[in-house]
Amino acid sequence: MNTVLDIKNLSIEVNTKKSKYNVVEGVNLSIGKKMKYGIVGESGSGKSLTSLAIMNLLPDVLKVSKGSITLNTEKSKELTKLSKREMQKIRGNEISMIFQEPMTALDPLYTIEHQLLEVLKFHTNYSKKEMRELGLDMLNKVGISRGKEIFKSYPHQLSGGMRQRVIIAMALICQPKLLIADEPTTALDVTIQAQILDLMNDLSETHDTSILMITHDLGVILETCERVAVLYAGQVMEETTVEQLFTNPSHPYTQGLLKSIRSLGDHKNTLYSIPGNVPTPAQYENMGCRFSSRCPHAMEICKSKEPSMYTVEKDHTSKCWLHEEEGVAYG
């Protein structure tokens, strides 16, 4: 098997007494072995919900209403059909996740040693001595040289960068085949952010781990990923290699995101922003293209009919009516 994770036609539904609608719809992703794959988009685009669906950690009011999520490790597993107990064996072992706001992800009541070794206690049969040695070794791999001292520390005694490294050590200590990193550099300064991204790249190579990087920051995508999916209002708008995305973006939304990046030496007084607002999930139904109200190229058909995903060039798809004539409908 050449892929570690296959997501096909994934839809996530809000289902309450008052309302029922999709917040994520028709998402298709395929992550290869040792691949670093990025999901980018504005807040509310469905990035984090997609990652929570993979981990089977959606809140009670949300559920996977359609599609499949297949993990290909020693044998294929359809994650949406597994029980809670079966998923517990996979989380932290075959799939690990770095959650948003990692600085609050550690329990303030327990030492770093207790929290780091707890993962090994749950998933392995190592002795206490073996677990301690593995924990110290992993802390060293993530750039923490004072492992024995850090073991005895509590989270509040560590800096933000150190806590982030501990979180990464916890995520990688069982050598998962897939690491999901949801905004892993949030609230870190630029220097520490660069160190963390380099660290994740290095550990991906040494542990043969695929990485799903979820972020709103295109700079992080450029720094770490090979392929990227651009999400907007719960749908994939564009999917391609990182190189093609930055050199030849095909969807107007992607073009707007790239236009809003300011580079060194750019002396414009006003930072570009995409006009308008992201529609709410309750507005998705029967609105045609979900980007049409903000798109500078919007046509009449965009407002009334949803476009297909078109193949615009090799390894490059775009969900836009502009590509109807030259593109090939996909999926």
Express each pLDDT in 185-241 by its tens digit. Answer: 776 677 777 877 888 888 788 878 899 999 888 888 988 899 999 999 999 999 999
Residue 264 reports pLDDT greater than 60: no
Tell me which DSSP letter residue 216 carries: S
Query: Which of 207, 232, 257 corresponds to the end of one domain?
Result: 232
Number of helical (H) and strand (E) elements in the chain, helices listed first:
11, 13
* Largest pairwise CA distance in the chain: 68
Per DSSP, 91 falls in state B
Share above pLDDT 70 across residues of the chain, in percent, rounded to a whole number: 94
Q: Is residue 238 part of a domain?
A: no
Q: Residue 225's pLDDT is what?
A: 93
Total domains in the fold of the chain: 2
CA 283 to chain centre: 24
* Residue 68 shares a structural domain with residue 174: yes
Q: Regarding beta strands 227-232 and 3-15, do their DSSP bridges make them parallel or antiparallel, or are they unpaired?
A: unpaired
Predicted confidence (pLDDT) at residue 31 exceeds the cutoff of 90? yes
Strands (E), the chain: 3-15, 20-32, 36-40, 62-72, 76-78, 95-98, 178-182, 210-215, 227-232, 235-241, 309-313, 316-318, 328-330
77 and 176 in a single domain? The answer is yes
pLDDT band at 302 (very low <50, low <70, confident <90, very high): very high
User: 199, 232, 265: which is the final residue of a domain?
Assistant: 232
How far apart CA 309 and CA 317 sit, in angstroms, is 6
Check whether residue 154 and residue 38 sit in a common domain.
yes
Q: 135 and 8 share a domain?
A: yes
In a domain, 240, yes or no: no
Q: Do 156 and 265 lie in a common domain? A: no
DSSP string, 46-90: SHHHHHHHHTT---TTEEEEEEEEEEESSSEEEGGG--HHHHHHH
Helix residue spans in 248-296 (DSSP H): 252-259
Q: Which amino acid makes up residue 172?
A: L
* 243 in any annotated domain: no
Same domain, 40 and 171: yes
CATH number reported for the structural domain that contains residue 220 in this entry:
3.40.50.300
Mean pLDDT, range 89-94, rounded to an integer: 90
Is residue 244 domain-resident? no
Residues 264, 221: one domain? no
Shared domain for 159 and 17, answered yes or no, is yes
Would the pLDDT of 262 be above 70?
no
Find the domain containing 31 and state its range: 3-232
What pLDDT is stored for residue 329 in this prediction? 56
Are 213 and 109 found together in one domain?
yes
Q: Answer with the one of 202, 232, 262 that is the final residue of a domain.
A: 232
pLDDT, position 326: 62
Are both 277 and 128 inside the same structural domain?
no
For the cut 80, the answer to whether the pLDDT of residue 100 exceeds it is no
| Closest by Cα among 142, 157, 48 to 103 | 157
55 belongs to a structural domain: yes
Q: Are residues 39 and 13 in the same domain?
A: yes
What DSSP line would sit under 218-252, residue for residue? HHHHHHH-SEEEEEETTEEEEEEEHHHHHHS--SH
